[in-house]
Amino acid sequence: MQPVTLINCFEVPTGREEEFFAMWQQVNTYMRSKPGYVGHKLHRSLKMDAPFRFVNMAQWESQEHFLAAHDEGFRALVSQAGWAAFPHRPNLYEVIHQGQTETLAA
């Protein structure tokens, strides 16, 4: 099993950021309790007119853990009517290359 990253891009209309964030927090709190969850970062665009105002990146120990976490409890949260206002594009990714800044010794 290899780690995977969920990258989920959200369309959030201007003025509805707080509503989105409250709903997102409910789902995030639920998912953090699931086996295999590693961590997340929620990003917000600096441009108000960006196509995707918010991008969530969540790491999981494996695709199997990720899929198992999408149970009845998850489906109940994301089927709330309010989510219809925030179209999203989720996909799982694997790392195929990673780089780091090198520090020079004095």
In a domain, 104, yes or no: no
Helices (H), the chain: 17-32, 63-69, 72-78
Q: Taking phi first (over 0 means left), then psi (-120 to 50 degrees means alpha), and beta for anything else, what does residue 90 get?
A: beta
In the numeric block, which tokens belong to residue 21? 């964030």
Q: Residue 23, exposed/middle/buried by CB under 10 A (0-12, 13-18, 19+)?
A: middle
Q: What's the domain range around 21? A: 4-93
Number of domains the chain contains: 1
**Is residue 87 within a helix (H) or strand (E), and if so which, with residue range?**
none
In a domain, 74, yes or no: yes
In a domain, 65, yes or no: yes
Per-residue pLDDT of the chain (106 residues; tens, 9 = 90+): 899 999 999 999 999 999 999 999 999 999 999 999 999 999 999 999 999 999 999 999 999 999 999 999 999 999 999 999 999 999 999 989 988 877 777 6
CATH code at 80? 3.30.70.100
